Amino acid sequence: MKISLAIILASLVCVMVIAAGCTSSSGTVPATTPVAKTVAPMPSAPTAVRTNATASTATPWSGTWATTYNFGETGLFVEVFSITQTGSSVTGTYSSGDECEGTVNNTADRSVFTGNCYGTINGTADGNKLTGIWSDTDNTGTYTGWYTFELSENGRSFHGHWVDAVDGVGALKNTTQFWNGVRV
């Protein structure tokens, strides 16, 4: 039995020596020519389309605007404009989107306006300036006056002033009544 075990161990050593000889290399490694790999280009991810909130340079006033204006001691009002510009001609409509509630002044004598507020503007654009006539209608009547707006350099906002018709168009130069907007 001892002889069989010795033969098995000797055989195992021989197999290991033979196997080790098969995996070793002698001398130098032969040079190999690098193989150029052709890699298919990765498909590009779809690019997001960015919409620019500014109007074209030909019609910079066209679009939807959220505006704020003051009315003396009555307070601030917010209205949404929808404006269309064709050449230098500008028309638009606006609405406060509520019942035109407000107060006449900040004293204990408060009067509430109710009704559906809406209005129109008509004007002429000249570069970044827009001047024209506004008209408001509410439950107490229809009112008109003048406005002047100046478009910001990036076309995303404007600042301006307004006056009532009774004040005259010349009053625009000195009025503190503002009417500002941002493009929506």
CATH number for the domain spanning 162: value is 2.40.128
The number of folded domains in the chain is 1
Q: What is the pLDDT of residue 57?
A: 74
Residue 169, in any domain of the structure: yes
Instruction: Report if residue 49 sits inside a domain.
Output: no
Q: SS3 sequence, the chain?
A: CHHHHHHHHHHHHHHHHHHHHHHCCCCCCCCCCCCCCCCCCCCCCCCCCCCCCCCCCCCCCCEEEEEEEECHHHCEEEEEEEEEEECCEEEEEEECCCCCCCCCCCCCCCCCCCCCCEEEEEEEEECCEEEEEEEEEECCEEEEEEEEEEECCCCCEEEEEEEEHHHCHHHHHCCCCEEEEEEC
Over residues 65-86, mean pLDDT: 85
Task: Give 158-172 pLDDT, tens digit per residue.
Answer: 999 999 999 999 999
pLDDT of 131 reads 97
Domain that holds residue 130: 63-183
Does some domain include residue 162?
Answer: yes
What pLDDT is recorded for position 105? 36
Residue 83 lies in a domain: yes
Confidence of residue 112 (pLDDT cuts 50, 70, 90): very low
Model confidence, pTM: 0.61
In a domain, 25, yes or no: no
